């Protein structure tokens, strides 16, 4: 039996196989039957996949059972400090550093004392044409959870 790979190793194999096979993240998500952002995060090791999802992904990508098993494991989410050195990821960090306190105040003003869930959560990305250059639209959609004393 092949040993289970670390999630980071499995993610690297997924990325290479996706490129080699000419597949987009959206195509993989459609075949797996899950949202594109969630599917991409799962294939990069940030969510556990069901056995069916992992099997489907590995069949599409031509990867073996060691990757399939890795895709099913619980992740250590956000554990890679190297992600903050990536310019795109860093800009999200920067945006939340600048606007996070304002968003927190506005959530409290609009909803009361509580938080936006990142567990009961949806995220989406879209491209919006703009005369000054296309815009990236990221939507965070989290359930409001009130603090209960």
Q: What integer pLDDT is reported at residue 27 of this predicted model?
A: 97
Active site residues: 91, 94, 117
Question: What CATH number has the domain spanning 7-72?
Answer: 1.10.260.40
Q: CA 111 → CA 103, 133, 141, 144, distances in Å?
A: 12, 34, 14, 8
Q: What pLDDT is stored for residue 101 in this prediction?
A: 85
Q: Count Cα neighbours of 48 within 13 Å in the Cβ-side half-sphere.
A: 8
**Domain topology for 81-146:** Cyanate Lyase; Chain: A, domain 2 (3.30.1160)
For the chain, report the end-to-end CA distance as a whole number of angstroms. 51
Show me where the domains of the chain are located: 7-72, 81-146
Low-confidence stretches of the chain (pLDDT beneath 50): none
Listing DSSP states for 74-106 in one string gives: PP-TT--GGGGGSHHHHHHHHHHHHHHHHHHHH
pLDDT for residue 74: 92
Q: What is the pLDDT of residues 8-51, one digit of tens each?
A: 999 999 999 999 999 999 999 999 999 999 999 999 999 999 99
């Amino acid at each position: 039996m092949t040993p289970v790979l670390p999630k980071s190793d499995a993610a690297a194999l997924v990325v290479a196989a996706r490129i080699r096979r000419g597949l987009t993240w959206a195509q993989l998500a459609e075949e797996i039957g899950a949202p594109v952002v969630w599917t991409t995060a799962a294939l990069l090791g940030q969510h556990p996949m069901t056995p069916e999802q992992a099997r489907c992904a590995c069949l599409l990508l031509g990867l073996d059972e060691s990757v399939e098993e890795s895709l099913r494991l619980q992740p250590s989410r956000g554990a890679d400090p190297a992600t903050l050195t990536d310019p795109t990821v860093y800009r999200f960090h920067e945006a939340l550093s600048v606007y996070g306190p304002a968003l927190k105040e506005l959530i409290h003003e609009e909803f009361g004392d509580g938080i936006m869930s990142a567990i009961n959560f949806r995220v989406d990305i879209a491209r919006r044409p703009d005369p000054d250059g296309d815009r990236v639209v990221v939507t965070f959609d989290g359930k409001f959870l009130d603090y209960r004393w």
